[in-house]
Amino acid sequence: MSVPLPPGSTVGILGSGQLGRMLAMAAARIGLKTHIYCPDSGPAFDVAAKATKGSFSDAKALAQFASEVQVVTYEFENVSSETARLLAPHVTLRPSPRALEVAQDRLLEKTFISDLGFPVAPFRAVSGVSDLEQARQDLGPTAILKTRRLGYDGKGQVRLGASGDAASAWATVGKAPSILEGMVAFEREVSVLVVRAVDGGLAYYDIPANTHAGGILRRSEVPCGLPEADLARARQIAAGVANALDYVGVLAVEMFHLGARVPLEQRLLVNEIAPRVHNSGHWTLEACGISQFENHIRAVAGWPLGSTRRHADAVMLNLIGAEANAWEKLAADDGACLHLYGKNEARDGRKMGHVTYLMPLTA
Amino acid sequence: MSVPLPPGSTVGILGSGQLGRMLAMAAARIGLKTHIYCPDSGPAFDVAAKATKGSFSDAKALAQFASEVQVVTYEFENVSSETARLLAPHVTLRPSPRALEVAQDRLLEKTFISDLGFPVAPFRAVSGVSDLEQARQDLGPTAILKTRRLGYDGKGQVRLGASGDAASAWATVGKAPSILEGMVAFEREVSVLVVRAVDGGLAYYDIPANTHAGGILRRSEVPCGLPEADLARARQIAAGVANALDYVGVLAVEMFHLGARVPLEQRLLVNEIAPRVHNSGHWTLEACGISQFENHIRAVAGWPLGSTRRHADAVMLNLIGAEANAWEKLAADDGACLHLYGKNEARDGRKMGHVTYLMPLTA
């Protein structure tokens, strides 16, 4: 498709969470309808023109969904290759299945990025205890064992210390195909939100600094404080990845910054990529004229990209679990832009909303 | 109700146009659901958790709607007193029916504002040709005859020149109860967007300068260029009106500015009030952290008001009728934030969307 989808067209979205919800509202802003497809109803159902509850392996329901939309995108990277294959005869999927394939498999992802010439943490493929023992010899005893694929009954990863036992670590990850990743002494975590149009045109949001706790993003802040040369290098890496995937939409590339003592070419190391809009870009809703959500929709709909210009400094804080119970206090906070996702239960570790604080533009 | 509606509650909205659409999205942002009620489907249906097609005089359907929502608001001021009366036993209507009553009747509106001590254009009630002739003697031959109520088959108003014939003007307005309004030589049109909370707290957006053509708003711009004393006077008038109505929500007060030669107390004259979010406040979506739409929802839901602070200068241009056909060009305009309302037909005079341009903050 080389012509943009006209207003009134429908964008199909796989997944009904908060990212789908914000994508649906961004689509509505520019006159596009959305149709959410998900096994379970969720926050996105409340703001979409249509929503279908269906299994991601239901060929008939997916074909019906595909027939009612003009393009399909997704809010999460674990869309299975089966789902992609079932949709493919009927409708264009953007970003393409190739991006899903790479992002879903930690070994494939690290190899792909490394082959592009960009630094990643040292890693080894692990298919058994003997692999793991060899890998620890190569990378040092302190390392993280991660399953290649996510969502393995919460047995996704385990940190090995000097005294860690390989056999028990291997059992902890469910004996699933994995990688061992060497520890990286980074100074700062940043992410590049790059958006790539159908014609290959690229745009970048300003790069936030991110803070995680317990594996969950807590805070993103722009500007991140890195010098321009480092920012340019980060953009160069993200562009390289996006171009190599012939990507369409917003791609988030999470990176570790190793500090100014490390040579520029080695200073930024790719941690992981997310082929979708990203939590570290939520501040774009207020601090930019066109948010990451709208630019993702624009890209997948074949539209020209909108400006990624930022007109305010911003700090975004996630509201995790019971933190969202403070909504009344947050609503009364003069500087806070409050977002609540409409989830019923404030379960532990669940992203319930976020708050963005805007400040005058400094850089 | 003195406690705010908790997230997950449902706000009912009468009307399915673009204002209802932007209200629904603002509600979703803070975790509130919306239920649209309107005789016809429209732009708001695509972004609401629920929508009901029903007549504004259908007692049963209105009662059912009222039973499913926790508060009702509206996107247009011509909600009939009958509709308000049918809803009243079941649910709170905000703003109150009193605001509707005043805003719907030009004679009542002008009298109300005048009685508060605020200037309005000179006017006379007109119930027949002899009234009209007397009124022209009082106000001068050049004046505008307007029906007291809107929507009278397009026969809403007629301009009388020096040679105008009273009998034919009276026929043109369908012999409906009317007012004759004297011409006012104003320098500038502005509007105050004031938001009033359930507890009586007030907040003001910065005051835009507005440009109309053919009775339709074309352009709003902030800042409007008036000195602070004039802005303070404008806010004082808007506050006086909002307080006198015990208003809840966003109230738009359109004013004429007569120029610096006129004494400050007489310099700003109220043209009309709109008891709802207003087209001249659409720029708040991008130029403020909390838009007029969210603050209206916050007020009617009993929430604390959000900050009305503006972090960018802005110009908003309406896209009327076929102007929206240029969407592809507008989408490619680097400085434009494009909004399309999802209306199918680009009829003449129909508001199809708007564009906001942001610029660095100057004042």
DSSP string, B184-252: ---SEEEEEEEEE-TTS-EEEPPPPEEEEETTEEEEEEES----HHHHHHHHHHHHHHHHHTT--EEEE
ipTM of the complex: 0.95
> A284, A311, A330: which to substitute to probe chain B, counting the most B Cβ within 10 Å?
A311
Q: Over 50: is that where the pLDDT of B153 sits?
A: no
**What sections of B245-342 are H helices per DSSP?**
264-267, 284-287, 292-300, 327-331
pLDDT tens-digit series, residues B199-228: 999 999 999 999 999 889 999 999 999 999
Residue of chain A nearest B329, judged by CA positions: A304
- Are B307 and A334 an interchain contact pair (Cβ–Cβ within 8 Å)? yes
Which percentage of chain A shows pLDDT scores above 90?
88
The confidence score (pLDDT) of residue B83 equals: 96
What pairing do the DSSP bridges indicate for beta strands B10-14 and B71-74?
parallel
Chain A partners within 8 Å of B338 (Cβ): 29-30, 306
For residue A211, the cross-strand partners are A219
pLDDT tens-digit series, residues B176-197: 999 999 999 999 999 999 999 9
Q: Which residues of B137-167 are buried (b: 16+ CB within 10 A; e: fewer)?
A: eebeeebbbbbbbeebeeebbbebeeebebe
- Are B341 and A31 an interchain contact pair (Cβ–Cβ within 8 Å)? yes
Nearest-CA distance from B290 to chain A in Å? 7
Chain B partners within 8 Å of A48 (Cβ): 46-47
Distance CA B172, CA B188 (A): 29
The confidence score (pLDDT) of residue B347 equals: 85
The confidence score (pLDDT) of residue B151 equals: 55
Name the pLDDT band for A116 (thresholds 50, 70, 90): very high
Distance CA B298, CA B11 (A): 10
pLDDT tens-digit series, residues B240-283: 999 999 999 999 999 999 999 999 999 999 999 999 999 999 99
Nearest-CA distance from A189 to chain B in Å? 26
pLDDT tens-digit series, residues A139-188: 988 899 999 997 544 558 888 988 878 999 999 888 999 999 999 999 99
Tokens 């003069």 -> residue: A334
Q: Are A212 and A322 in contact (CB under 8 A)?
A: no
Residue A25 identity: M
Q: Over 90: is that where the pLDDT of B1 sits?
A: no
Encoding tokens for residue A206?
A: 């300003």
Q: Please compute the mean of the pLDDT values over residues A324-345 and round it to a whole number.
A: 95
Q: Are B66 and B13 in contact (CB under 8 A)?
A: no
Residue of chain B nearest A307, judged by CA positions: B334
pLDDT tens-digit series, residues B45-96: 999 999 999 999 999 999 999 999 999 999 999 999 999 999 999 999 999 9
Cα→Cα distances B77→A226, B15, B317, Å: 52, 10, 23
**At B105, phi and psi to the nearest 5?**
-125, 110
Distance CA B336, CA B328 (A): 12
> B13, B16, B21, B29: which to substitute to probe chain A, counting the most A Cβ within 10 Å?
B29
Relative orientation angle of helices B18-29 and B292-300, to the nearest 10 degrees: 70
> A22, A198, A337, A350: which to substitute to probe chain B, counting the most B Cβ within 10 Å?
A337
CA nearest neighbour of B246 among B101, B95, B91, B117: B95
Distance CA B363, CA B348 (A): 36
Four-way CATH pick for A188-359: 3.30.460.10, 3.40.50.10470, 1.20.1630.10, 3.30.470.20: 3.30.470.20
The confidence score (pLDDT) of residue A105 equals: 95
Chain B partners within 8 Å of A303 (Cβ): 328, 331
- Are A4 and B339 an interchain contact pair (Cβ–Cβ within 8 Å)? no
Q: Please compute the mean of the pLDDT values over residues A5-15 and round it to a whole number.
A: 98
Chain A partners within 8 Å of B31 (Cβ): 327, 339-342, 353
The confidence score (pLDDT) of residue A1 equals: 47
Encoding tokens for residue A125?
A: 């493929």
Distance CA A219, CA A181 (A): 24
Domain boundaries of chain A, sorted by first residue: 10-93, 122-182, 188-359
**At B80, phi and psi to the nearest 5?**
-75, 155
Q: Please compute the mean of the pLDDT values over residues B271-296 and round it to a whole number.
A: 97
Q: Which CATH class is domain B122-182?
A: alpha beta
- Are A31 and B332 an interchain contact pair (Cβ–Cβ within 8 Å)? no
Q: Please compute the mean of the pLDDT values over residues A243-271 and round it to a whole number.
A: 97
- Are B289 and A7 an interchain contact pair (Cβ–Cβ within 8 Å)? no
Return the beta strands (E) in B302-350 as ranges: 313-320, 336-340
Nearest-CA distance from B125 to chain A in Å? 43
Distance CA B89, CA B104 (A): 22
- The mean pLDDT value of chain B amounts to 95
Nearest-CA distance from A186 to chain B in Å? 33
- Are B8 and A304 an interchain contact pair (Cβ–Cβ within 8 Å)? no
pLDDT tens-digit series, residues A260-269: 999 999 999 9
Q: Are A356 and A337 in contact (CB under 8 A)?
A: yes
The confidence score (pLDDT) of residue A152 equals: 45
- Are A340 and B7 an interchain contact pair (Cβ–Cβ within 8 Å)? yes
Distance CA A250, CA A281 (A): 10
Q: Over 50: is that where the pLDDT of A225 sits?
A: yes
Chain A partners within 8 Å of B337 (Cβ): 289-290, 306
Distance CA B96, CA A82 (A): 54
Name the pLDDT band for A136 (thresholds 50, 70, 90): very high
Reported as half-sphere exposure (CB side, CA atoms, 13 A), residue A129 has a value of 9
| Other Cβ atoms within 10 Å of A228 Cβ, number | 8
Reported as half-sphere exposure (CB side, CA atoms, 13 A), residue A289 has a value of 25
The confidence score (pLDDT) of residue A32 equals: 98
Chain A partners within 8 Å of B304 (Cβ): 328, 331-332
Of A33, A337, A356, the CB nearest to B342: A33
> B33, B47, B308: which to substitute to probe chain A, counting the most A Cβ within 10 Å?
B47
- Are A337 and B290 an interchain contact pair (Cβ–Cβ within 8 Å)? yes
Q: Which CATH class is domain A10-93?
A: alpha beta
A–B interface: beta-carbon pairs under 8 A: 121
